[in-house]
Structure 1
């Protein structure tokens, strides 16, 4: 036997909020998947609705436009990766050298990008495609993520683990560019993520 919950009661209100949060998350998950596969120009709300198993008009209850939905996915992708990398680096013991910390960051970046998050894949693949008006939060979060890498590279240089004649900004951007590009060319048919990480 099931019990009806009065939607006006505290329990009913909480249940409604939980259902709403789950539906919103489902829409975001679907949008991340579609955006990562079809790109900004090819992402249609009808496709997102189909993946989320909803009717298209339902999306407008949670997001006022296609752009606001994509903006949320783009920001979430880079924010998730930053939070993951911070957590991993915070857990690393002090015995790790700066270069070992960079290798840990490489591992974390690739695994998150290729295995863990369609949000991050969508964010990386579409960073140069979305219009400026919906890029602000993504850009700000990207700079926060880049600052982690800047500190990693600077620490390795200070310890003499990077050649002193190298431009540290160029080195960092080349490494991040190579890591991000893996989202474009890697598939499981080309080898495991373990192999990609080991090679990197």
Structure 2
């Protein structure tokens, strides 16, 4: 009897975890399309195929659900780019920077509705949620600061450029991409190749590092 009860509890826990995940995925999809102000629990429930009141079993409020989504989305980008860079730990600074650009664009444009929702709604979030998201963004920004600084330290950055400004402009341009990109505009591979070419052509010292 004890064993059967334990298995039942385990199965119930797994089902609960799946339902919670389905609600989060639905919230990410709705949030990416409709924004913070336009994302209603009824819309999320419809996509998740649950009753709207059931969401409160898994999340205290609409805001707590949205926060869970945007925080995961921000972390997704960090984790993905860190994994890309870990595989290129011995590569030159330019290769690492361009690989990070590709990694960010892939996860933002095609890999994760969570990251898309996070990027699109960063400026719409309540102050408390935005402050916690900002803490995660600072960690992600640190990765990009180190990448650009490595290029500069190798003498490959154009002398007239400010590394901090370059870092912010790269991230800003990439985070704007979800607002205009779609497969009908250009294939994803073309967007990635274009971004790499723009960064390489605009940042690198023509005599030492442009490739």
Instruction: State whether TM-score is above 0.5.
Output: yes
Deviation, 1:121, is 0.4
Higher mean displacement: 38-47 or 9-18: 9-18
Structure 2 residue aligned with 1:198 = 193
Give the secondary structure class of the aligned counterpart of 2:59: coil
Give the secondary structure class of the aligned counterpart of 2:156: coil
**1:22 alignment partner, one of 18, 22, 42:** 18
Residue 139, structure 1, aligned to residue 134, structure 2: yes
Gaps of 5+ in 2: 196-211
Would you say the 8 A contact 1:6–1:12 is kept in 2? no
Gaps of 5+ in 1: none
Deviation, 1:164, is 2.7
Deviations 1:80-112 (A, max 9, x none): 110111111101151x21011110000000010
Large movers: runs of 4+ above 3 Å: 5-8
**1:159 alignment partner, one of 154, 158, 181:** 154
Alignment of 1:1-200 (within 5 A): 9-94=5-90, 96-200=91-195
Q: Distance in 2 between matches of 1:9 and 1:108?
A: 45
Give the secondary structure class of the aligned counterpart of 1:59: helix
Q: CA RMSD in A?
A: 1.5
> TM-score scaled to structure 2, two decimals?
0.89
Q: Distance in 1 between matches of 2:164 and 2:67?
A: 28
Q: Distance in 2 between matches of 1:149 and 1:93?
A: 15
Q: Distance in 1 between matches of 2:2 and 2:31?
A: 38
Would you say the 8 A contact 1:76–1:119 is kept in 2? yes
Q: Distance in 2 between matches of 1:182 and 1:168?
A: 22
Give the secondary structure class of the aligned counterpart of 2:124: coil
Give the secondary structure class of the aligned counterpart of 2:149: helix
Q: Distance in 2 between matches of 1:162 and 1:8?
A: 65
Q: Distance in 1 between matches of 2:92 and 2:109?
A: 26
Give the secondary structure class of the aligned counterpart of 1:128: helix
